[in-house]
Amino acid sequence: MNIIVNATVKAPIEMVWASYTQPEDIKQWNAASDDWHTTVSHVDLRVGGIFSSRMEAKDGSFGFDFSGTYTKIVLHELIEYAFGDRTASIQFTPSIEGVNVRISFTPESEHSIEQQREGWQAILTRFAKHVESKIP
């Protein structure tokens, strides 16, 4: 069973895609709450390419690296990757309202399904707000 989170981003697909895949943007939105941040991000956006982000509590009490390997990329449509023994898929679907971003991922066993859904949804919601804040 995969966990699925969604958000509609009121911006052009090119801006949504770039904001999801550019390290400087990722550092701005990749956190589930205001007391966390991403300090380093690296993206090699190609099949077989590696991505990594360093996520840390702002008070310095905890941090971890999130990394994986891209397994499929369709420009402005789809990103798939593997991280450890898990996988994730991000679909970008333009609509009248903007771009629907749908993330489907394999859960881990340490946290509850609901905790994982809430965390990933919070990050996706921050992503949407970040992109929309860039619109002139």
pTM reported for the whole predicted model: 0.95
Note the pLDDT of residue 15. Answer: 97
Between CA 125 and CA 135 the distance in angstroms is 16
Q: Which fold has domain 3-133?
A: Alpha-D-Glucose-1,6-Bisphosphate; Chain A, domain 4 (3.30.530)
* DSSP designation for 90: E
Contact of 72 with 78, CB cutoff 8 Å: yes
> Model confidence at 6, in pLDDT bands (50, 70, 90)?
very high
CA distance 66 to 78: 20
Q: Which tens digits make up the pLDDT trace of 80-104?
A: 999 999 999 999 999 999 999 999 9
At 99-131, the pLDDT tens digits run 999 999 999 999 999 999 999 999 999 999 999
The predicted structure's pLDDT at residue 131: 98
| pLDDT for position 30 | 97
